[in-house]
């Protein structure tokens, strides 16, 4: 199975990607995480990407597409794309590159969330500096404040999670990424999940939706 996750920042895509990957035995390819790793490693690509990340703007398509295609080629056949595609040209490039490899997207799962809820959620977000596991001080706190449950690493607030940058990221989502809902709907691949429910419930609904897809039954209303 090959999935695309869509939804505004704050909808919990990163967290759900990990849950779904565990449940379905898929690999997660998260472009934001890859960019942040390249920035931390101070690679050439990281230096190009940093100013876009800090401003909440999209990294240019040519850089991003090449990076994702490389990750697909290196990994297993089943994957979840988190944070990609984010523009119509990226979605078209993905479709083309997969077709060249005899593959296609199985579904685009869109997490639906109100903008103000998204901003409130992100303000509470913390990420493990070592293994990137995401937390939220209100909705999904670690067992020990400031410490990662998985690896014991320190939890930090990302620079792009300041309110001003979050609002810019939401505006970019509405402008550039929301048109992808239509792109995947036209192909019969779009499935929507309400992301305002508690985390575990969102996962269950997403799994149900994907099972229905496998069984060939119609999407739940
Ligand atoms: P994320 O963690 O998915 O919210 O991504 C963080 C930042 O990485 C975004 O605000 C962009 O600057 C950059 N980024 C991630 N994915 C993409 C993409 N598909 N296209 C362009 N820029 C991206």
pLDDT at 181: 96
The predicted-structure confidence for 101-140, as pLDDT tens digits, reads as follows: 999 999 999 999 998 888 888 888 899 999 989 898 887 8
Chain centre to alpha carbon of residue 154:
22
31 CA from centroid of ligand 1 (Å): 6
Q: Is 86 a catalytic residue?
A: yes
Please confirm, yes or no, whether 125 is among the known catalytic residues.
yes
For residue range 168-206, list pLDDT tens digits in order.
Answer: 889 989 998 999 999 999 999 999 999 999 889 999 999
The residues facing 134 across adjacent strands are 127
Catalytic site includes residue 36: no
Ligand 1 neighbours, Cβ below 6 Å, are 9, 31-32, 35, 52-53, 56-59, 64, 83-84, 86, 90, 160, 169
| Alpha helix ranges (H) inside 124-195 | 163-172, 179-186
Pairwise CA distance, residues 111 & 129, whole Å? 25
Coil, strand or helix at 10: coil
% of the chain surpassing 70 pLDDT: 96
| 3-class secondary-structure state, position 126 | strand
With H, G, I as helix, E, B as strand and everything else as coil, classify residue 191: strand
Higher pLDDT, 106 or 213: 106
Q: Which helix (H) or strand (E) holds 5?
A: strand 2-6
Which atom in ligand 1 lies closest to the alpha carbon of residue 84? 19
Is the distance from CB of 178 to CB of 91 less than 8 angstroms? Answer: no
Q: How many angstroms separate the alpha carbon of residue 216 from the centre of ligand 1? A: 32
- Closest-CA residue to 193 (of 180, 211, 182, 206): 206
| Predicted model pTM | 0.83
Predicted local confidence at residue 212, as pLDDT = 86
Cβ–Cβ under 8 Å, residues 79 and 3: yes
CA distances from 59 to 27, 52, 69 (A): 23, 6, 15
């Amino acid at each position: 199975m090959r999935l695309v996750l869509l939804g505004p920042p704050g909808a919990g895509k990163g967290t759900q990607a990990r849950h779904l990957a565990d449940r379905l035995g898929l690999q997660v390819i998260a472009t934001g995480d890859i960019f942040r790793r390249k920035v931390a490693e101070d690679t050439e690509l990281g230096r190009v990407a940093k100013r876009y990340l800090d401003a909440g703007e999209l990294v240019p398509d040519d850089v991003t597409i090449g990076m994702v295609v490389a990750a697909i080629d290196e990994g297993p056949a089943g994957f979840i794309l988190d944070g990609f595609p984010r523009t119509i040209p990226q979605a078209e490039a993905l479709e083309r590159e997969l077709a060249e490899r005899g593959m296609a997207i199985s579904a685009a799962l869109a997490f639906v969330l109100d903008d103000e809820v998204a901003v409130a959620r992100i303000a509470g977000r913390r990420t493990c500096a070592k293994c990137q596991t995401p937390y939220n001080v209100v909705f999904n706190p670690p067992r020990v404040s400031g410490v990662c449950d998985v690896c014991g690493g320190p939890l930090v607030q990302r620079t792009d999670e300041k309110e001003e940058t979050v609002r810019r990221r939401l505006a970019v989502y509405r402008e550039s990424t929301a048109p992808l809902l239509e792109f995947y709907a036209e192909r019969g691949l779009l499935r929507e999940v309400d992301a305002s429910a508690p985390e575990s419930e969102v996962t269950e609904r997403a799994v149900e939706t994907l099972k229905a897809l496998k069984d060939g039954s119609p999407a739940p209303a």
